[in-house]
Amino acid sequence: MQDVNLNSFSERAVLVGVIHKDQNELETIDYLDELELLAKTSGAKVVKTFIQKKYFLSPSTFIGKGKVNEIKEFISLNKINLVVFDDELTASQFRNIERILKCKVLDRANLILDIFALRAKTSYAKVQVELAQYSYLLPRLTRMWTHLSKQQGGIGTKGPGEKEIETDRRIIRNKISVLKQKLKKIDKQRKVQRKSRQNILKISLVGYTNAGKSTLMNLLTKSNLLAEDKLFATLDTTVRKIYLHNKNMLISDTVGFIRKLPYQLIESFKSTLDDILDSDILLHVVDLSSDNFEKHIDIVNKTLFEIGASNKRQILVFNKIDKLNNTQNTNKDEVLSLEQTWMNKNNKKSVFISAYKKTNIEKLKRTILI
């Protein structure tokens, strides 16, 4: 893996989203807002967003040659050097679009992998991300910008080095095999660790990325973990002891979820997600200040279902109530009403807090013990 500071680059980018039969206009705009945040997290300056209505996607250029040419004209007039598609592209689509645009092209999966590469700090996280990157790159080895971009650096280049990419697929497959063996070895060690914790209550913090899990973790455990207002600030599962009313427990902070999370990452981080499966209680942290918090809840629940954790006891922790417009005037009765509404709606216990302002934390602790 190459250690490169994404923020040292200042790439001018345009984003591309598509309204199609499975995704309406509001959803497309919502996804593009999130894609812009991802791009900014990677150090890019978003100059413009393009939206194409296309109910039957083009197998060669995804959005149709006419729209690609429109983007090409904008690129040439505005010194754009990066185009990011919100949907995952095939190898041939990448090749055809780049041939027309003569510009670096990424998709959402590529961008997320890039951010994960930046955020990975421990050797375990780095192996997981590298495996995901190689799995993603394998069918895309013929990208026409690869050689140049690897020399220049920039967004989308935090993966395996130039020599590996330019060699044949057999070597890439061998590298994937080696990384899988490394993960297996580490996984065995982690299973032994989990086995030693069988007789203690285990809690996992889960939620959409940037929901405030690490801030809550610091508050509950009186620790000083990195808690940033950034996407994917936490990649490594961190386990800490917590004492609630004379009861000894373990609490872990896990990687945040996001829409259209690349399946390569889910596969690579399976062992990390196994910590969730080993938990007795899930604290599902929700950013209540987000306009899309209900969608975020659905995405997290869908991911929990996919990894086999949907039957775990779950407490909905609605965080960041301090960011609501009327927070100053929100009284205890209103909070109780909100909690009751969500309990009736989801059949799950709900607590409304502010980890930042330390509001309602004692009630959360009592709810965990019930």
Q: Tokens for 211, please give them.
A: 């929901």
The pLDDT value given to residue 235: 55
The pLDDT value given to residue 286: 95
Q: Are residues 51 and 127 in the same domain?
A: yes
Q: How far apart are CA 35 and CA 88, in angstroms?
A: 12
User: pTM score, two decimals?
Assistant: 0.76
Range 61-69, long-range pairs (CB < 8 A, 24+ positions): 61/93, 61/96, 61/97, 61/100, 62/18, 62/87, 62/89, 62/93, 62/97, 63/16, 63/18, 65/100, 68/97, 68/100, 68/101, 69/100
Q: How far apart are CA 237 and CA 205, in angstroms?
A: 10
The pLDDT value given to residue 272: 65
Report the domain count for the chain: 2
Q: How far apart are CA 115 and CA 234, in angstroms?
A: 11
Within-domain flag for 177? no
Q: Are residues 207 and 162 in the same domain?
A: no
Q: Which of 166, 189, 218 is where one domain is finished?
A: 166
The pLDDT value given to residue 283: 96
The pLDDT value given to residue 13: 96
The pLDDT value given to residue 8: 45
Find the domain containing 70 and state its range: 7-166
- Which CATH number is 30's domain given? 3.40.50.11060
In 3-state terms, what secondary structure has residue 51? Answer: strand
Q: How far apart are CA 318 and CA 355, in angstroms?
A: 10
The answer to whether the Cα torsion of 336, 339, 345, 348 is positive or negative is negative
Smallest CA-to-CA distance from 141 within 108, 175, 192, 116 is with 175
Within-domain flag for 186? no
The pLDDT value given to residue 323: 84
Q: Are residues 92 and 237 in the same domain?
A: no
Q: Are residues 101 and 247 in the same domain?
A: no
Q: Are residues 18 and 157 in the same domain?
A: yes
Within-domain flag for 27? yes
Bridge partner residues of 143 (DSSP): none
The pLDDT value given to residue 369: 86
Within-domain flag for 341? yes
Alpha carbon dihedral 27, 19, 112, 303, in 10-degree steps, equals 50
Residues 6+ positions from 254 with CB-CB distance below 8 Å: 204, 205, 206, 213, 234, 237, 272, 273, 275, 276
Within-domain flag for 13? yes
- Which CATH number is 320's domain given? 3.40.50.300
One digit per residue, the tens of pLDDT, for the chain of length 370 reads: 333 344 445 789 999 999 988 888 988 998 999 999 899 888 899 999 999 998 889 999 999 999 999 999 999 999 999 999 999 999 899 999 999 999 999 999 989 888 888 877 778 888 888 888 888 888 776 554 444 444 445 666 555 555 555 556 788 888 889 998 888 887 777 777 766 667 789 999 999 988 999 889 989 988 765 555 556 655 566 788 888 878 889 998 887 888 887 777 777 676 667 778 889 999 999 999 888 888 899 999 998 998 888 899 999 999 999 887 554 445 566 666 777 777 667 777 889 999 999 999 999 999 998 7
Q: Are 303 and 207 in contact (CB under 8 A)?
A: no
Q: Are residues 52 and 112 in the same domain?
A: yes
Residues 6+ positions from 53 with CB-CB distance below 8 Å: 18, 19, 20
Q: Are residues 159 and 213 in the same domain?
A: no
Q: Are residues 117 and 250 in the same domain?
A: no
The pLDDT value given to residue 340: 72
Q: State phi, psi for 343 to the nearest 5 degrees.
A: -65, -40
Within-domain flag for 356? yes
Q: How far apart are CA 67 and CA 72, in angstroms?
A: 9
Residues 6+ positions from 293 with CB-CB distance below 8 Å: 286, 287, 318
